[in-house]
Amino acid sequence: MKLAGFDPVGDDATHTLILGSFPGVASLAATQYYAHPRNQFWRLVGAAIGEDLHTLAYGDRLARLVAHGIGLWDVLAACEREGSLDAAIRNASPNDFAVLHTRFPKLRTLCFNGKTSGKFAPVLAAAGYATLVLPSSSAANAILSFDQKLRIWRDILTTQ
């Protein structure tokens, strides 16, 4: 069965877009980016921007993120996958990145949440964006500690 991703989050002032690969099972069920409670995304990005995002309701998390000029999206629009692991993704369709220039006119930086989404970095760098591949916020990425990830995630603030 083909699974469909989410619309991008952001506004006309968005200067940085964080791109994941594709929503996991918990995120798809909740219709929320990074909904799995063990995913460190909201703690990482919150610490990077100085906001306690993981304690807020989802709508408030998004509003605070957008207020900082940061948006969210995924590199894949649709795919087939059993479970949540990126390695299980099959028959993927990328999102239409041509819309970025018009949808987010101030967009300058694309940050990729993990290696799977990071595979798109060279293509988008060639389109004129600054790119940064971050260590995945997924609980499955246990190679780095939270603090080690956070040191790199803080770079989203310096690439703006």
- The answer to whether 113 is a known catalytic residue is no
CA atoms 126, 131, 135, 140: torsion sign? negative
The single residue of 39, 95, 113, 141 carrying the catalytic annotation is 39
Find where tokens 């995945």 sit: 136
DSSP letters, 43-106, are: HHHHHHHT--GGGS-HHHHHHHHHHTTEEEEESEEEEE-SSS-GGG-EEEEE--GGGHHHH-TT
> Which residues belong to the active site?
39
